[in-house]
Structure 1
C-alpha cells in the first residue's frame, strides 16, 4: 500500500469488516442459526454447516478478510480478491430474495437496503484488484 487512496479504501473497509466479524464470534446459538438461514438464502451450501457455530465461522472469516485489507504487506490484488469474493456472497443474498429488490430486480426496497450497501464494497474490491501496483 503506497498511495493514500489505498490506505483509505483498505483501511476503512478493513476496519468495518473486522468490527463486524468480531461482533459475530461467539454469538448465541439462536442468533447464529438466524444468520445461517439468511446466508443460506444466497448460498445454499451454507445450510450444511453446524448452525450453532455458524456465526463464529463467519466472524473469523470476516476478521481474516478485514486483516488482509488492513495489512500493508498484502498486495491490493489479493486483498481486493478476498473482498470481492466475500461481497459476492453477500450480494447473492440480496438478489436471491425478491423482497430485497423492487419489481425491476435491481433497485433496493427498504428491506434490501442493508444489503444494497454491499455494492460499495464490491466496487472497492474490484478497484483494488484492477490497480496497477508499482
Structure 2
C-alpha cells in the first residue's frame, strides 16, 4: 500500500472512528430516559427490538459503537473489515430514518425538522464503501 493510500485511509478512518467511539462512550451508562428514547426510535423501524429491554438495548448499542469506533481507529484492522462494519452500521441508520415517518416531511424522502440529524447520518455508508473499494484496489496491487 502506498503512502497516498495510507493517508487516504487515515483521513477516512480517524475522524469517523473518533466520532463513533465518542458516540458509543456517551451512551455508556445511559439513564432510563435516554435508554427508552434510543430504544423507542430503533424499535419503530426494527420491531423485534420491542422484545429487548431499553437499558439492555442502550448498553448493546453503546458496546457496538465503541467496538466499531475502535476498529476504525486500529491500524491492524483491515480497511475491508472496518469498511464493512461501517457500511452495515450506516445502512442501519438509513433504515431507521426511512422507517420512522415523523423524521420525513409528509409524502417526501426529505427530512422534517426532527429528522435532520438522522438524515445526515448517511455518511457512514459512503465512508464505509470508500474503505471497501480502496482496500480492494490496494489488495489487487493497483496503486493508482
Q: State the TM-score, normalized to the length of structure 2.
A: 0.85
Aligned residues: 134
| TM-superposed deviation, 1:52 | 2.1
SS in structure 1 opposite 2:105? coil
Once the two structures are overlaid, the 10-residue window that deviates more, 45-54 or 121-130, is 45-54
Q: State the TM-score, normalized to the length of structure 1.
A: 0.91
Unmatched 5+ residue regions in structure 1?
A: none
> Out of 52, 55, 63, which is 2:55 matched to?
52
Unmatched 5+ residue regions in structure 2?
A: 140-144
SS in structure 1 opposite 2:55? coil
| TM-superposed deviation, 1:103 | 4.2
Q: 1:66-81 to 2 correspondence within 5 Å? A: 66-81=69-84
**Separation (CA, whole Å) in 1 of partners of 2:76 and 2:107:** 42
Larger Rg: 2
> CA RMSD of the aligned region, Å?
1.6
The structure whose residues are more often helix, as a share, is 2
> Out of 123, 126, 132, which is 1:123 matched to?
126
